Structure 1
Amino acid sequence: MRFDEYIRYDGLGLAGLVRSGQVHATELLDIALARTDQTHARLNAVVRRLDDRARKQAARTWQSDMPFAGVPFLVKDLFQDIAGVPTSWGTKVLGNVPAQETADVTRRWEEAGAVIFGMTNTPELGSKGVTESLALGPAHNPWDLSRTTGGSSGGSAAAVAAGLVPVAGANDGGGSIRIPAAACGLFGLKPGRGRVSMGPMAAEGLNGAAVNGVLSRSVRDTAAMMDVLQVPEPHGPYFMPRPSVPYLQQIATPPRRLRIGFSTASPVGTPVHADAVEAVQDAARLLASLGHHVEEAAPGVDGEQVAQDFATSWFCLSAALVDEICRQTGARLTDFEPDTRAMAAIGKSTSVMDLMRSQHNWHTHNRALAAFHARYDMWLSPVLSEVALPIGQLTTPRMLSLSMDVARVLGLSGLVRKTPAFNQRLIANLSWTPFTQLANLSGRPAMSVPLYWNSANLPLGVQFVAGLDGEGTLLQLAAELEAARPWFDRRPAI
């Protein structure tokens, strides 16, 4: 098999070839490794190689019940551990610290037949909407190498978009599946809270806001991966039974005609580019042509308060993570990036009452979104306010980083957090990704669907947010949209 043949198949298609004996898994792995070598200098998508381990996996005997038998696969360098292999979380501190246990999702992928040959690039601690860590270097967007992949699953997005693998591991705590999917022309589903395990290392990520999933080029690959991953674990904090009909079977049936409310205004009042507006309006027209009821409407949520409540929890999580990593490894605070130091300092200065108040607000936002879903099956919006940004555009200015370090040393981070200038900077940092955090705080499933490319041939996905237990309906709608406007063969020229 040649690469130009390999790229024509999704994961399920490749697995079918392996199970039927038309191709051997070792041959697929050779193609994936060669493609990784060919593109590495330009993409920087894969930051840890596991070639020898993968070759042993690929040589195994494949069972007929393995949906992804022999399919080359990549896990994200965050929350998707392999016992004995370091998971760096995008930081130099953890780059040589072997993981103690294999993550539940990684085990499930391997049981399904995936051949894991590496880990993908992510920002430090997964804490940004771009993948530009100082330790690993930036991931580059295959559609325009000068632009970001988005984050934090940016390495996985680059790998799938460039054809290294048909599907790859990802996770999403504030948009980290949907943002890179939208920026790289991929399909990305964020499962609802508790649907996919974050264990055994953690009960849940970011108080339930963070979830594991995948990025893919086909809806059916994601549906099949959801069937693989959505298995209740005995150590999990929630019991989420499997759907009565597997997701892969559900997508064979179109969804009922849906009521969909759409909006394009930024929840935090920042500008939205005409491309992003047109992407949503174009999707609305397509939905209407398919018989769905579509009208302009938005959840009655205070977007700026959502941003503040999301940031408060994120800062506190950063403080806890940095403190624990330092305790376990002997690292110092100065071993982390300036932005990480600043977030951790703000988190440490946050009072318990402020954190609890913020957590209570999550429920308030959830109730507002639930009221919207009482009237509409889904909310349609942009994922991003514009196409992928140039790499480095969201880098914190050096003088601001220095001033935050000074404030930390002087114990003034808490005061800085309450200044209008800091809040303006927070909103500015979210101005590219203001639409995604609500689904995380509310724990509702959401997806980015690649329906739009602008005049410069840059992709810009649109977001759908469903109500509780809405993964099946999202996947059914995505499959209907994929059939109406196929995107699988739309690939970057890299």
Structure 2
Amino acid sequence: MNDDATALAEAIASGRLTAAAAMEAAIAAGEARGPLGAIVFTAPALGRAAAERIDAMSADAAPRATMPFAGVPTLAKDLGGPFAGLPVAAGSRTRPRLDGAPDSELASRFRAAGLCPFGLTTSPEFGLSLASEPAAGPASRNPLAPGRSAGGSSGGAAAAVAAGIVAIAHATDAGGSIRVPAACCGLVGLKPGRGSVPGGPAYGNHVGGLASEFAVCRSVRDAATAFRAIAGGVRGPFPPPAFAPPDVDAPLRIGLLTETGADLPTDPKRSEAVDAAGRALERLGHRLVPLRYEAVAPMVLASGRIFAGIVAVNLTELAARLCLDLSLAENVTQAVAENGRAMSAAEIWALMREMILVGHDLWQIFEGIDILLTPMLASAPRPLGSFPHDHRDIDLHFRRMLAFAPLAPLANVSGFPALTLPFGEDRDGLPLPVQLLAPMGGEARLLALAAPLEAEGRWRHRHPVAGLTP
């Protein structure tokens, strides 16, 4: 693997490349690839200053020695915990892009790992879509097929990483928003389990427990390194959670979910990729446990409904707290907020109760398996405009999203960690992504299982990382 953030960090550490030169290459690549719509805001001076600080440190100095990505340029998402100097507008014209917010806990850990942010990536308005095409602009295009979506809501981040503008980028996931764009663009997308990665103080709500913050990456090793650097409890009276070391040498029970039935149509090529990944894990000594879709169908349907309701309530509260003028918002956003305002306390409480029960029911599935292997997307990345926001039919909007990524919200509602990676390509050269889910605390096991799947070499990045020689 010679085209990821780890390789770029190694080039900087060895002196083959300075952090300043890496930053200039990333800034130039962002400008050259502007038509992709990956970046919505840039602060080049901020990035250059961060890179200069890295270059000013001795390579063997104690602070730099603890930075696995020392000098690596990155981008934050225009949604989620703030990065100082990068004012978030959440893809909306209802929020002025005002600076002044301090780093979130996660942002401070990004910087402590040596990452140097210099801009913000495109997000749909308030993250309400699986395409990153806000009315405020720009529309994020897939670097592998510019007529198709890069996914959402971290579509700008995925487009930037797949295009090689940066090698790793901040992302958030409340209903598939890390995993769906990663799947669209041929990247590794880890959605950490609930509580594994801090998001406070300003983003401590986590959308009622649905959302996790992390990154989109070009390799499993980048995701593993970033998770080690970023995970753990926030500062305070409670100790960080204990993560058991992965035991993947012993045979694991891999629940193989490919039989989706008429209610969950999946493109045959994408189901075949899941079968192929299962066989690859079987060759490593793991045992396949076939699962019919009926085993998880009630949870899948409940997760879609719970996601839609909690997102609506969260948006309503956010708009009231920030005094947002929702008349400036997209039509779908206005309708979602109206739905949230109309919900009673009893209805909201019932959603939260059902959310807990979905997590319990999924735990029951894991009584018989250790890992669940599923399709990530039902089809190839959708054409631009497939998730329009100029209407008020929110049932249609959420149905479209669930049809595209039916198994995405399950991990958010249950709180379980999940990971997607490409495992082959279709006849159009687009990735065939698979998804792995684990019980709480299973991030390290997911990453350990994903590594040999990646090593099979069924997917190659099309665009080199800026600053690295192809």
Distance 2:85 2:4 in 1: 30
Tell me how far 1:199 sits from its aligned partner. Answer: 0.7
Identify the residue that residue 18 of structure 2 maps to in structure 1.
24
1:332-353 deviation line (CA, Å, top 9, x unaligned):
2211111110000001001111
Q: How many residues align?
A: 454
Kindly report which structure 2 residues correspond to 1:325-474, keeping only aligned pairs within 5 A, or say none.
325=322, 327=323, 331-396=324-389, 400-401=391-392, 423=395, 426-474=398-446
Identify the residue that residue 271 of structure 1 maps to in structure 2.
265
Contact kept in structure 2, 1:255 and 1:477, CA below 8 Å? no
CA 1:100/1:338 → structure 2, altered by over 3 Å: closer, same or farther? same
Matched, 1:34 2:35: no
1:391-416 deviation line (CA, Å, top 9, x unaligned):
101215x5x53xx6xxxxxxxxxxxx
Contact kept in structure 2, 1:386 and 1:460, CA below 8 Å? no
CA 1:12/1:92 → structure 2, altered by over 3 Å: closer, same or farther? same
Contact kept in structure 1, 2:253 and 2:369, CA below 8 Å? yes
Q: Which region of structure 1 is more displaced relative to structure 2, 184-193 or 290-299?
A: 290-299
Percent identity, aligned pairs only, is 33
Query: TM-score, normalised on structure 1?
Result: 0.87
What SS does structure 2 have at the residue aligned with 1:460? strand
1:28-62 deviation line (CA, Å, top 9, x unaligned):
11111121111112x11011111111111111223
Identify the residue that residue 480 of structure 1 maps to in structure 2.
452
Query: TM-score, normalised on structure 2?
Result: 0.91
Matched, 1:491 2:462: yes
Q: 2:39 aligns with which of 42, 46, 67?
A: 46
Give the CA RMSD over aligned residues.
2.2
CA 1:211/1:425 → structure 2, altered by over 3 Å: closer, same or farther? closer
CA 1:204/1:275 → structure 2, altered by over 3 Å: closer, same or farther? same
Contact kept in structure 1, 2:234 and 2:240, CA below 8 Å? no
Contact kept in structure 1, 2:47 and 2:117, CA below 8 Å? yes
What SS does structure 1 have at the residue aligned with 2:431? coil
Kindly report which structure 2 residues correspond to 1:118-133, keeping only aligned pairs within 5 A, or say none.
118-133=119-134
Identify the residue that residue 170 of structure 1 maps to in structure 2.
171
Identify the residue that residue 240 of structure 2 maps to in structure 1.
240
Kindly report which structure 2 residues correspond to 1:249-268, keeping only aligned pairs within 5 A, or say none.
255-265=249-259
> Which letter maps to 1:347?
G
Distance 1:442 1:162 in 2: 32
Structure 2 residue ranges without an equivalent (≥5): 58-63, 466-470
Contact kept in structure 2, 1:191 and 1:471, CA below 8 Å? yes
1:362-384 deviation line (CA, Å, top 9, x unaligned):
12111111011111011111111
CA 1:265/1:339 → structure 2, altered by over 3 Å: closer, same or farther? farther
CA 1:430/1:243 → structure 2, altered by over 3 Å: closer, same or farther? closer
Distance 2:162 2:242 in 1: 30
What SS does structure 1 have at the residue aligned with 2:26? helix
Contact kept in structure 1, 2:161 and 2:216, CA below 8 Å? yes
Contact kept in structure 1, 2:176 and 2:408, CA below 8 Å? yes
> Which letter maps to 2:313?
C
Identify the residue that residue 220 of structure 2 maps to in structure 1.
219
Matched, 1:282 2:254: no
Identify the residue that residue 61 of structure 2 maps to in structure 1.
none
Identify the residue that residue 411 of structure 1 maps to in structure 2.
none
Distance 1:451 1:162 in 2: 19
Identify the residue that residue 100 of structure 1 maps to in structure 2.
101
1:311-337 deviation line (CA, Å, top 9, x unaligned):
111111121122223x2xxx4221111
> Which letter maps to 2:442?
G
CA 1:428/1:76 → structure 2, altered by over 3 Å: closer, same or farther? closer
Contact kept in structure 1, 2:81 and 2:203, CA below 8 Å? no
CA 1:17/1:314 → structure 2, altered by over 3 Å: closer, same or farther? same
1:14-37 deviation line (CA, Å, top 9, x unaligned):
222222322211111111112111
1:143-184 deviation line (CA, Å, top 9, x unaligned):
100000111110110011111111111111011111011111
CA 1:268/1:369 → structure 2, altered by over 3 Å: closer, same or farther? farther
> Which letter maps to 1:451?
F
Structure 1 residue ranges without an equivalent (≥5): 1-6, 405-421
1:216-242 deviation line (CA, Å, top 9, x unaligned):
111111111111111321259x75335
Contact kept in structure 2, 1:268 and 1:434, CA below 8 Å? no
Tell me how far 1:137 sits from its aligned partner. Answer: 2.4
What SS does structure 2 have at the residue aligned with 1:165? coil
Kindly report which structure 2 residues correspond to 1:310-325, keeping only aligned pairs within 5 A, or say none.
310-325=307-322
> Which letter maps to 2:435?
Q
Tell me how far 1:486 sits from its aligned partner. Answer: 5.6
Distance 1:484 1:254 in 2: 17
> Which letter maps to 1:295?
V
Tell me how far 1:254 sits from its aligned partner. Answer: 5.1
